[in-house]
């Protein structure tokens, strides 16, 4: 440990934990920055901003406060206590960092954003439980152990084939606009308002809250300010919920329309869609599994 402490004093090195597993990874700082900035160079997902950080935080806080006060509170969609709980103050941008994927060639970085203290963090935490019950159904298993238990009970023909796939940048490739519309269409199916505890939201009101929570994410990396324009960041309260919700809806609208000999399941991360998808291909004696 003394050697590690000495290494941590070297400003040309970065010491981080790996994306998977235990331990730590020692990287040249320049290489670490290059790996993360390679991800941020995707202009369809990220935008470099030329804003003063304090001015941006004040602007974002003001926009959210005006909507909470002048629309939701004024129309009694939320109570005074909810307004006070969601009220943003003293906020700051998120902090982005990268975890090396040591199990992959060239150790690419997985972007993780610490969202605690951002102007919409409390709002995201408030909204997540509203959607959480909608992310669990007969298509879902919640751990790799459940997944193993399920597939070990399958009886497959001798010519079945197991194939492993990967999805690049899964979280950052979640289409936000499409996912928000899917959430709204299902949450407000057959109703004009949704009641949550002592709050009652119309569809336009809830859409605006979702947009504040998922489409206004700013962060700092290497002393530069960025905005994520699409997808979600791992570390955000929304990341896992949006990902599962989108895949549940895809399964409901597509996979369940196909006659399957065994029930489709997915688990969080890459197994979710492909483990459901392999059941369709199973008719062709091809067994897909992550």
Burial class (CB in 10 A: 0-12, 13-18, 19+), 249: middle
- pLDDT tens-digit profile of 218-227? 999 999 999 9
User: Nearest Cα to 35, choosing from 27, 43, 47?
Assistant: 27
- The Cα–Cα gap between 59 and 117 comes to 15
* Residue burial 198-234, b: 16+ Cβ < 10 Å; e: rest: ebebeeebbbbbbebbbbbbbbbbeeebbbbebbbbb
Residue 142 confidence class, pLDDT cut points 50, 70, 90: low
Residue 86 confidence class, pLDDT cut points 50, 70, 90: very high
Q: What is the pairing mode between strands 217-221 and 94-100?
A: parallel
User: Highest mean pLDDT: which of 163-167, 237-241, 247-251?
Assistant: 237-241
Residue 171 corresponds to which tokens in the numbers above?
Answer: 């979280």
End-to-end CA distance of the chain: give it in Å, rounded.
37
pLDDT, position 139: 55
Helix/strand/coil for 49: strand
User: Highest mean pLDDT: which of 71-80, 107-116, 155-164?
Assistant: 71-80
Helix/strand/coil for 27: strand
Residue 58 confidence class, pLDDT cut points 50, 70, 90: very high
- The Cα–Cα gap between 118 and 111 comes to 17
Residue 286 confidence class, pLDDT cut points 50, 70, 90: very low
- Ranges of each domain in the chain: 2-288
Average pLDDT over residues 220-241: 83
- The Cα–Cα gap between 272 and 290 comes to 9
pLDDT, position 206: 95
- Does residue 32 carry a pLDDT above 90? yes
Average pLDDT over residues 127-149: 69
């Amino acid at each position: 440990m003394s050697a590690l402490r000495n290494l941590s004093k070297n400003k040309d090195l970065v010491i981080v934990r790996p994306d998977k597993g235990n331990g730590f990874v020692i990287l040249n700082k320049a290489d670490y920055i290059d790996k993360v900035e390679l991800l941020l160079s995707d202009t369809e997902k990220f935008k470099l901003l030329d804003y003063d950080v304090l001015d941006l935080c004040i602007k974002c806080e003001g926009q959210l406060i005006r909507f909470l006060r002048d629309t939701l509170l004024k129309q009694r969609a939320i109570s005074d206590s909810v307004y006070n709980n969601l009220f943003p103050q003293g906020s700051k941008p998120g902090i982005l960092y990268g975890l090396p994927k040591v199990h992959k060639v060239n150790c690419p970085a997985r972007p993780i954003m610490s969202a605690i203290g951002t102007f919409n963090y409390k709002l995201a935490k408030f909204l997540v439980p509203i959607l959480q019950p909608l992310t669990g159904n007969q298509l879902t298993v919640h751990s790799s152990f459940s997944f193993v238990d399920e597939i070990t009970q399958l009886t497959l023909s001798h010519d079945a084939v197991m194939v492993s796939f990967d999805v690049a940048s899964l979280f950052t490739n979640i289409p936000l606009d499409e996912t928000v519309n899917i959430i709204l269409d299902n949450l407000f199916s057959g109703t004009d308002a949704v009641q949550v505890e002592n709050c009652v939201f119309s569809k336009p009101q809830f859409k605006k809250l979702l947009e504040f929570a998922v489409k206004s994410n700013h962060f700092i990396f290497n002393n530069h300010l960025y905005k994520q324009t699409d997808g979600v960041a791992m570390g955000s309260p929304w990341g896992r919920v949006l990902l599962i919700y989108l895949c549940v809806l895809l399964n409901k609208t597509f996979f369940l329309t196909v006659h399957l000999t065994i029930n489709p399941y997915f688990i969080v991360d890459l197994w979710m869609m492909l483990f459901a998808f392999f059941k369709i291909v199973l008719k062709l004696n091809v067994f897909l599994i992550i």
